[in-house]
Amino acid sequence: MLTIDPRCREQPYGDSVKTMNYLRNCWYAAMWSEALKRGALVAATLLDEPLVFFRDLMGQPVAMDDMCPHRLAPLRLGKLLPDGRVRCGYHGLEFASSGLCVKNPQGNGHIPPNCRVKTYRVVEKHTLVWIWMGDAAPDESLIPEFSYLDANSGYDVGRRDTITMDTHYRYIVDNLMDLSHASFLHDGLLGNEETIFADIQVRQEGPYVFVQRDMNNVRPPLLRDLLFKRDGANVNMWQNIRWSPPSAVLNDIGTYAPGTDRKDFSGQLGCHILTPATADTTLYHTAAARQGPLGAVAEEGDETFKARIAELRTFAFKEQDDPMLKAQLENIRKHPGATPRMLAIDAGPVRCQRILDALIAAEQKKSEPLKEPVP
């Protein structure tokens, strides 16, 4: 068990919301691949920067600043032309997918030197579009592992959602890595009073921090019961949540009958991949898949069942977590110097935030991007 670094007690909780605290030499999930359709410009603000995404003629994703170099009009109000160029909607300058201005339809057609839009490296992996917004050379090996989302993974992945959360992404990292809040904020749905007492184990493996809880012979919260036998009988269950910097989380849950083998379980893998939009808003990309050899057969048909599970998850995040986190952020903004009084349940979140702080500090000292977490 890790102990809490006392330095964290001296650090105002409001420090996390400073815009300068974005880690830039890393990958952020901009959107689900399915959300980036051919022939369309898709606007997204990430790390406080307005961007526009589209697919080039080969179908490859492209990201560029949402700002024309002429008079700084937003390109999202322009058009993606059939030849793959982006045309500004204000005076018609056209830009190739490299960002270079290749046509001025006005007057003599002269194109000023350095007339280009900034572009970013974009990669599709695990059915998500990832973007690298830092100055260092992009390293695709740093994209976190979410292979269960892949088309050929063998998992039946449910609805892919992106929820806009009304808080800074680092407070959602705290929320996710603090498994104890499920008993209160998600009482009856993801936890209950019988799950309060479970031990919390924190460990670090490579770039990942894990927080694990085992809860034995407890009344099942609704989601667990739905994914298991739907009889309300007591269960053993685990939750093992994995974070990697800056803000990608994999949640592995399993449920099995007391007195039986742990490998005869029914569970779920869920991703909670956070991308800061602004200092006050976060894009929360999430999708879950069943796992394990056991579990109730969906009575209503699998698609209906998957949709119900997706609805329950969205309800938990948007209707239960988000109002709490939004109100928490309002308090933090009113009291930027206030320091949190940490509990043992905060060991996981504190570990993640320490690593993130160290990575950001190293980056701001112009260090090379780090592959290994800072101990």
Contacts with Fe ion by CB under 5 A lie at: 321
* Closest approach of ligand FES to the CB of residue 92, in Å: 6
* Closest approach of Fe ion to the CB of residue 182, in Å: 6
**Segment interacting with ligand FES, rule: CB under 6 A, options 63-71, 214-222, 322-330, 357-365:** 63-71
**Segment interacting with ligand FES, rule: CB under 6 A, options 9-17, 85-93, 188-196, 355-363:** 85-93
Which option in ligand FES, Fe ion, none does residue 307 bind, with CB closer than 5 to 8 A by kind? none
**Segment interacting with ligand FES, rule: CB under 6 A, options 65-73, 173-181, 238-246, 340-348:** 65-73
Taking the least distance from each CB to Fe ion, the nearer of 181 and 290 is 181
Q: What's the rounded Cα separation, in Å, for the pair 229 and 71?
A: 61
Which option in Fe ion, ligand FES, none does residue 86 bind, with CB closer than 5 to 8 A by kind? none
Helix (H, G, I), strand (E, B) or coil at 55: strand
Q: What's the rounded Cα separation, in Å, for the pair 165 and 338?
A: 23
Q: What's the rounded Cα separation, in Å, for the pair 65 and 78?
A: 13
**Segment interacting with ligand FES, rule: CB under 6 A, options 5-13, 87-95, 218-226, 324-332:** 87-95
Site residues for ligand FES, 92-131, by CB under 6 A, read: 92-93
Cα–Cα distances in angstroms (integers) from residue 27 to residues 38, 139, 247, in the given order: 23, 9, 10
DSSP 8-state class, residue 136: S
Dump the DSSP string for 223-277: HHHHHTTSS---EEEEEEEEEETTTEEEEEEEEE-TTS-TTS-EEEEEEEEEEES
Which option in Fe ion, ligand FES, none does residue 88 bind, with CB closer than 5 to 8 A by kind? ligand FES
Total residues binding ligand FES (CB under 6 A): 9
Report the DSSP beta bridge partners of residue 103: 94
Helix (H, G, I), strand (E, B) or coil at 129: strand
CB 220 within 8 A of CB 213: no
Asked if 44 is part of the footprint of ligand FES (rule: CB under 6 A), the reply reads no
Q: What's the rounded Cα separation, in Å, for the pair 118 and 182?
A: 42
Q: What's the rounded Cα separation, in Å, for the pair 353 and 178?
A: 12
Asked if 73 is part of the footprint of ligand FES (rule: CB under 6 A), the reply reads yes
* Closest approach of ligand FES to the CB of residue 108, in Å: 15
Which option in Fe ion, ligand FES, none does residue 321 bind, with CB closer than 5 to 8 A by kind? Fe ion
**Segment interacting with ligand FES, rule: CB under 6 A, options 83-91, 191-199, 257-265, 367-375:** 83-91
**Segment interacting with ligand FES, rule: CB under 6 A, options 25-33, 39-47, 84-92, 237-245:** 84-92
Asked if 68 is part of the footprint of ligand FES (rule: CB under 6 A), the reply reads yes
> Measured at the alpha carbon of residue 140, what is the angle toward residues 137 and 142, in degrees to the nearest 5?
95
**H or E element, residue 63:** strand 61-65
Which option in Fe ion, ligand FES, none does residue 93 bind, with CB closer than 5 to 8 A by kind? ligand FES
Q: Classify strands 235-244 and 248-256 as parallel, antiparallel or unpaired.
A: antiparallel
Q: Which two tokens stand for residue 190?
A: 């993801």
Instruction: Count Cβ atoms below 10 Å from residue 364 Cβ, excluding itself.
Output: 12
* Closest approach of ligand FES to the CB of residue 45, in Å: 19
* Closest approach of ligand FES to the CB of residue 48, in Å: 21
Return residues touching ligand FES (CB under 6 A).
Answer: 68, 70-71, 73, 88, 90-93
